[in-house]
Chains A and B, each alone.
Chain A
Amino acid sequence: MKERFLYDGELEKQLKEKADQFKMYPSDKVWNEVYGSLHTRRRRFVAGMSILIGSILILAGSQLIFPSKSVQGKTIAARVNTAKPPVAGVDIPSFAADDLVNTASVNATDQKTQFDKLVLNSPYITSATASETLNDPSRFAENLPDKNISTARERSGQPDNIVIPDQPGTSATETTQIHDGVSSIQNNAESNSVSAELSPEKSAAQLTHLRNDRYSWEIYVTPTLNTRYLTGLNYQTMAQSLQSSPIMLVNVSNVNGFVDNTPVLGYNVGGNILYKLTKNISLKAGLEFSFNRYYIKAYNSNASQTSVALNSYFGYISDPTNSISATGTDKNPQQYQNRYYQLSLPLGVEMKAAGNGKVQLRLGASLQPSYLLNTDAYVLSDDYKGYSKDAQAFRRWNLNVGAEAYISYAVGNIRWELGPQVRYQIFSTYKDSYPLKENMLNYGIRIGISKTIR
């Protein structure tokens, strides 16, 4: 640009001078918009995580409020079946139901083998329908020859439990064999204490469900108490200068003795999808939002330069307007809160330690890669004398470990969960270049619900 440095007159000179003296302070909105435009990656991450959390919550909510049709259908079928007296002619489908129900405690391969055997041996099912049924077990119910069975019974006048098929190719020996098979499987059913009054429709539906029962979801909230552990330099030489402080419990070997950290209530809220690996062990993955905070005590100071030895690209950082003093002679120190907002991706394992279907004791552990969304926190200076706010001092990515033990209690389709949870932050809250290390610990009571996805 070819600037015109020489002005034609005094008026222009003075206009420029006066105009340049004028300053206006923009609203916070402007910087927020600028920042948002420049750091879209972070915004995308937050948006993505929000969508994921939202989806889990919507899924959970919809399962709670509107159970799936298959579950409703199953309930209706069960009711209808209970209302009707047992029909003699459905003996074979009936043992099929027993067989399928029992497979809850039998492995999937056995179940498939028994089912195949049943279908292939059944005199009511032609080779074509058998083939269809093998390919799609849910069609088993469609292929049942209810009409034929009823007709056969009517014609023969045979009592219940005796089946005479109305098909020319079936011999008496075959029928006996079938009854033998029925008896053995029924005995097996009784030994497993499973009800034998299930409809064929339910049998088929349940077989399909067995494949999906491995997945379940859970959502939970944990009111937590948060505290921190500081480690770092050993400032024995500082003891004398710090002894006068009323809030310092002078402990020269441990930095935690120099500061006062009072736990404050925070919370973790999240959701998991669980995959049942074996009968008692499940894998889980999900999302968790954590709001952690604790009190620090400090004195207000008049913009003293807090020494935050952060070796960043611009050397020492200190914002005098945001600094407070950790030491002083004032008898009434102020309480400040350090707040952290974190999003985590818990990946873990859960196991049933004890209990039955109704009440269970479950144990869980997880590794949680975490991202620090925001902070409102003071950083203790490396001389332990002051606190300063400095967003650059904080590590964005971290790793937490979590463990929980809870009682799971089934109420209808939902399981309620209640028990202690603990979470520890492995890496320091601060970047490696900062001499002090802060590791946070949260503990609280977890309250949650879970439900099998069908």
Chain B
Amino acid sequence: MTEEAILQGCLKNHAAAQKELYNRYSPKMLAVCYRFAHNREDAEDMLQEGFIKVFLQIHTFQNKGAFEGWIRRIVVHTCINHLKKNKRFNESVDIIQASAIQVREENIPSIVQAKQIVDCIRLLPIGYRTVLNLYAIEGYAHKEIADMLDIEESTSRSQYTRARQMLEEILIKRNLIPAAREKTDRLTAIH
């Protein structure tokens, strides 16, 4: 079934088209939710809420840009709203103070499996993890992240810097990237 046919079917509230869309995108979207969530159960709750929004708002999709990207944005926003209801999350993103930390650039060997990377990301504290997910993987700017999370833009930057640093340490510990080289190597400021 083509994407256009799925879209038309969903607009007519046809269950078969809705199921097709769900089958096609739910595995990717659950992985997105899983990166934000505390556990799989929370991730499934987020996914469920996200897809309900997708189907209810599908008439607002204007064929500008990728359909998957549109779905993904709804799912990500759903995840953020879900997290914002959690008190621990709000405290977590506020306590980190902004500071300019420079970190190294490293390449992740291609042999590393996707699941290992996701597992490493999920080891980060919830505040770090959220900002890293939004900035590095979902491609949001710090200004947008700040608006989404109701924090200062500078807080978002510092959170990301710390998150990136912590993730690197985890990746090194797990031998997913080479051990630390000279401190003088290619230091890069993250913006």
Contact = CB atoms under 8 A, between A and B. Distances in A.
Interface in B10-53: 12-19, 22, 26-28, 30-31, 34-35, 40, 43-44, 47-48, 51-52
B112 A18 contact: yes
Contacts of B135: 4, 12
A66 interface: no
A11 B107 contact: yes
A9 B1 contact: no
Interface in A1-23: 1-5, 7-12, 14-16, 18-23
Contacts of B18: 34-35, 38
A87 interface: no
Q: How large is the interface on B (under 10, 10 to 19, 20 to 34, 35 or more residues)?
A: 35 or more
A12 to B, nearest CB: 4
Given A9-B190, A18-B112, A33-B48, A314 B55 contact: no
A34 B105 contact: no
B105 A15 contact: no
Contacts of A159: none
Contact of A18 (B1, B22, B108): B108
Contact of A15 (B26, B108, B143): B108
A278 interface: no
Nearest to A22: B114
In terms of DSSP, what is the predominant structure of the interface of chain B?
helix
A312 B40 CA distance: 37
Contacts of A33: 48
B141 interface: yes
Given A1-B144, A26-B26, A26-B30, A8 B188 contact: yes
Contacts of B121: 15, 19
B114 A21 contact: yes
Contact of A34 (B43, B52, B114, B144): B52
A19 B5 contact: no
B115 A391 contact: no
Given A10-B105, A313-B9, A20 B140 contact: no
B26 A20 contact: no
B28 A14 contact: no
A15 B40 CA distance: 21
Nearest to A39: B15
B183 to A, nearest CB: 17
A30 interface: yes
A392 interface: yes
Contacts of A11: 105-108, 136, 164, 168
A390 to B, nearest CB: 8
Interface string A154-186: 000000000000000000000000000000000
B137 A23 contact: no
B27 A23 contact: yes
Given A11-B106, A22-B115, A34 B9 contact: no
Contact of A29 (B44, B56, B141): B44
A11 to B, nearest CB: 6
B178 interface: no
A7 B48 contact: no
Nearest to A14: B108
Contacts of B17: 313-314
A24 interface: yes
Contacts of A22: 31, 34, 114-115, 117-118
A314 B12 CA distance: 12
Given A18-B112, A24-B30, A31-B19, A1 B73 contact: yes
A315 interface: yes
Contacts of A25: 26-27, 30
Most B CB atoms within 10 A — which of A8, A10, A34?
A34
B19 to A, nearest CB: 7
Closest 6 pairs between A and B when the two form their complex, measured CB to CB: A314-B5, A21-B114, A23-B27, A22-B114, A18-B117, A24-B30
7 contacts: A10-B106, A11-B136, A19-B114, A20-B28, A22-B31, A22-B114, A392-B14
